Amino acid sequence: MKFKTFSGSVYELDLNNKRIRRLNGNKAPTERQGADGEWKTYASLLNEPQVDKSLVIVWKVDIVDEEQILRTTETSYIKEIWVNT
């Protein structure tokens, strides 16, 4: 599955292997996203990709003083979704 956000970024999402990569964008990717084209493994998604909603990616869950801390990235709102491309 691929999707494009309103900010112009294009992502490829591999749900079976819990991997995502940003293919390109108008601004530099965040540190957690890594370089464009680089697959990154995520722990979970807080929601499913949907048009007109952002996608929240949970990269890692840390336990600090018995509390869970989620390392996340939230994309801008999704403009288009392509399945099986």
Token representation of residue 34: 């890594």
DSSP lists the bridge partners of residue 20 as 13, 40
Contact assessment for residue 7 and residue 26, using Cβ atoms and an 8 Å cutoff: yes
pLDDT of residue 85: 61
Question: What is residue 11's predicted lDDT score, i.e. its pLDDT?
Answer: 96
Q: Beta strands of the chain (E only): which ranges?
A: 2-5, 10-14, 19-24, 40-41, 44-45, 56-64, 67-74, 78-82
Q: Look up the pTM and report it.
A: 0.87
Q: How many residues does the chain have?
A: 85
What's the number of domains the chain is made of? 1
pLDDT at 46: 94
Q: What is the mean pLDDT of each successive set of 10 residues along the chain, which is 85 residues long?
A: 96 96 90 89 95 95 86 95 85
Rounded-to-integer distance, Cα 73 and Cα 57, Å: 5
Domain that holds residue 32: 2-82
